[in-house]
Amino acid sequence: MTGTVLQGSVSVNQTVEIASLKVEKKVKSMQMFHKPVETAYKGDRVGICVTQMDAKSLERGLLAEPKSVPTIDGAIAAVEKIRFFK
């Protein structure tokens, strides 16, 4: 998985949660610009390899500290149609 650290930091051997899949995995290794790193901080672009993760099971998602991102399966919304403004 590749992406930008939005807040906090992530380290090798840290447990992270993939919120959309509701699974917890351990960070196996990381690299920035093809160089291995142990820790990534806010703003860093990083590639993260997690243990026993099939790349095809996730196209886009969010990695976070375990139990820090609440997820919902459905919601009820009231929608009101408005006329097109010209």
pLDDT tens, 13-32?
A: 999 998 888 889 999 999 99
Predicted confidence pLDDT, tens digits, the chain (86 residues):
889 999 999 999 999 998 888 889 999 999 999 999 999 999 999 999 988 888 788 888 888 888 888 878 889 999 988 887 66
- Both tokens of 81, joined, read 């149609």
Question: Residue 49's Cα: distance from chain center in Å?
Answer: 12
Question: Residue 47's Cα: distance from chain center in Å?
Answer: 12
Q: What is the predicted pLDDT for the residue at 29?
A: 94
Bridge partners, residue 64, by sequence: 17
- Both tokens of 25, joined, read 């995995």
Q: Is 0.85 surpassed by the pTM of this model?
A: no
Rounded to the nearest 5 percent, the helix, strand and coil shares of the chain are 5, 40, 55
Name the maximum alpha-carbon separation found in the chain. 57
CA-nearest of 3, 65, 53, 64 to 28 is 53
One-letter amino acid for residue 67 of the chain: K
